[in-house]
Amino acid sequence: MAQSVQTHTGDALERPPGLRGVAADLSSDQRAFKNVSWGKAMMWIFLLSDTFVFGCFLLAYMTARMSTTVPWPNPSEVFALTIGGQEIPLILIAIMTFILISSSGTMAMAVNFGYSRDRRKTAALMLLTAVLGASFVGMQAFEWSKLIAEGVRPWENPWGAAQFGSSFFMITGFHGTHVTFGVLFLLIIARKVWRGDFETERRGFFTSRKGNYEIVEIMGLYWHFVDLVWVFIFAFFYLW
């Protein structure tokens, strides 16, 4: 008879060796996800997968930059704006970063008022967050149009390495798409909060049970992730 892998030591069981032990640990934990809602768990899984995607993009950018023999453009020159006859480096990027980080603060306050069931303040702060996000996307569109007018393309770059254009448009475009979708969902959820859908159990998209404002927190998780990713993009593209 095969030796049993379950040996009682009081109420505890001996852990099986190898991968069977890892599987046993994961399958036997009755508390890890017991009190976590389906929506929040799925958002965390989505954010984890998105972290891998952005991580691969940034690793590819670092590889391209360190392997190219052509000089890499100077960010202070490429992203400078002429104001009053003087070139100010990175001024637009600094404003964009300030706006996006500020939106994290307004989103955090919206989540706080959401759990207090103050629907007017929650909706107002979500709308403010959406306005800040839309402002960020608008500035990014201006930045893109400026670089395109100056000759930057995914396949060429007048300031040096051609990989700069493809890396820049791919990574900032992917992030800008995330921000754009975030703004749309903020507007949808803010409208539902303002109408009181979560109090009246009004049926519809994203409507949950009565008094459940957890969707605001789930939206907050997404928005904070988008802001955090921008910090890394800012450091890699504009400060390196």
N-to-C CA span, the chain: 64
Q: Coil, strand, or helix at residue 14?
A: coil
User: Is 75 contained in some domain?
Assistant: yes
Domain tally, the chain: 1
Structure tokens at 142: 């201006």
Q: Which residue has the tokens 């052509």?
A: 70
109 domain residue, yes or no: yes
Tell whether 4 is covered by a domain: no
Q: Give the whole-angstrom CA distance, residue 48 versus residue 55.
A: 11
CATH number assigned to the domain comprising residue 138: 1.20.120.80
Q: Which domain holds residue 133?
A: 37-239
132, part of any domain: yes
Question: Per the domain annotation, does 21 fall within a domain?
Answer: no
Q: Which of 230, 213, 215, 132 is nearest to 178 (CA)?
A: 230
Query: Residue 223, Cα to own-chain centre: how many angstroms?
Result: 6
Half-sphere exposure of 181 (CA within 13 A, CB side): 8
Residue 233 domain-assigned (yes or no): yes
Does the residue 23 lie in any domain?
no
pLDDT for 36 equals 67
Q: What is the pLDDT of residue 55?
A: 93
Instruction: Spell out a b/e string for 133-147, using b for 16 or more CB atoms within 10 Å of the CB, else e.
Output: bbbbbebbeebbeeb
Q: Give the model's pLDDT for residue 53.
A: 94
Rounded distance between C-alpha atoms, residue 104 and residue 89, angstroms? 25
Q: What is the pLDDT of residue 1?
A: 41
Q: What is the pLDDT of residue 81?
A: 84
DSSP codes of every residue in 27-43: HH-SSTTTTS-HHHHHH
Per-residue pLDDT of the chain (240 residues; tens, 9 = 90+): 444 444 444 444 566 677 776 666 555 555 555 666 778 888 999 999 999 999 999 999 999 888 888 888 888 888 888 887 788 888 999 999 999 999 999 999 999 998 888 889 999 999 999 999 999 999 999 999 998 998 888 888 888 888 888 899 999 999 999 999 999 999 999 988 888 877 776 665 554 445 467 889 999 999 999 999 999 999 988 888
DSSP code of residue 70: S
Q: Is residue 71 part of a domain?
A: yes
Q: How far apart are CA 100 and CA 223, in angstroms?
A: 10
pTM of the complete model:
0.80
Using DSSP, state whether 84 is helix, strand or coil: coil
